[in-house]
Amino acid sequence: MRIKTIIVTGGAGFIGSNFIFYMKRKYPDYRLICLDKLTYAGNLVTLQPLMEEADFRFYKADICDRDAVYKVFEEEHPDVVVNFAAESHVDRSIESPEIFLDTNIKGTAVLMDACIKYQVGRFHQISTDEVYGDLPLDRSDLLFTEETPLCTSSPYSSSKAAADLLAMSYYRTYGLPVTISRCSNNYGPYQFTEKLIPLMITRALADQPLPVYGQGINVRDWIYVEDHCKAVDRIIHAGTPGEIYNIGGHNELRNIDIVRLICKELNKPESLITYVADRKGHDLRYAIDASKIYMELGWLPETKFEDGIKKTIQWYVSHPEWWRHSFFII
């Protein structure tokens, strides 16, 4: 498949914007089209450096708005659609599940209908390792594989699992060339400050309390966002339609250890750490087996956590004008 134009939904958000910048650097001849609703987690300032470029266009639209989506597809004739657009914060899904069902399920259906109508060559669905549920803390030998049964714990992960199932049904029923990737926790520049790492960095910079759920012993597998972008790049160019690919960073860390590391890097006292009531249904441990994408597509993560976290901290230190408008207060 020859690729000329890619629509990136959710491209003003954290991973989507990093993906656009990465693809722009690697494939300067591609046309990159960003479609984003600009909800609280979308920041058009992030994409400002691209706004005047001839091969980049931005559309403010909701992926649930069928007429708006079809209009973009009709104007831009995409070869590939990569769907980053999603409501993604677990806490918000617990408080208000309905918007997660609308965006993450209905929105995905609208995009796939548009792909069929306008004969798009590949639809790639960005999913999450959270669709697998969690793993016990005392079984480091257990990892999520692509065959691990779906076992969701929150309205967020349930909505993403439903979208995955819907995407695979479109592949089987309509022959839509679909691929899905399920990635572990991302970190890096341009992440909204409600998520763990940017929340702790920005609050520590302001000498504010650092709220940690429960005892902070929950474990996540962390991946630097550019490594994730490289994996998606590999999938849309060489992945097999109808396949699911796990993406992991091989960096399992407890939440409390990350917070302590951030305090150390910023020379802030650990006395800022405050333990708060645990999240409802809080998953214990995520850990990804990413051997399939390595064996089939040759992808491996390149960034060690100790290097990536330093780069991330320095980015937030150096860009207060970006995050202060969205400073998240608990």
Catalytic residue list: 129-130, 156
Residue 288 φ then ψ, to 5°? -105, 135
Triad 317, 52, 27: Cα angle to 5° = 80
Lookup result for tokens 């940690």: 212
Cβ-contact 171, 272 below 8 angstroms? no
Q: Distance between CA 280 and CA 213 in Å, rounded?
A: 10
Greatest C-alpha distance within the chain: 57
State both tokens at 79: 């070869």
For residue 190, the SS3 value is coil
Q: Where are the alpha helices (DSSP H) in 175-273?
A: 196-205, 225-238, 255-265
Tell how far CA 318 is from the center of its chain.
23
Q: Distance between CA 72 and CA 272 in Å, rounded?
A: 47
Q: Distance between CA 18 and CA 15 in Å, rounded?
A: 5
Query: Which amino acid type is present at position 110?
Result: V
Q: Distance between CA 319 and CA 90 in Å, rounded?
A: 26
Q: Where are the alpha helices (DSSP H) in 60-181?
A: 66-76, 90-95, 97-101, 107-117, 155-174
Give 21-42 as a DSSP string.
HHHHHH-TTSEEEEEE---TT-
Query: Which amino acid type is present at position 145?
Result: T
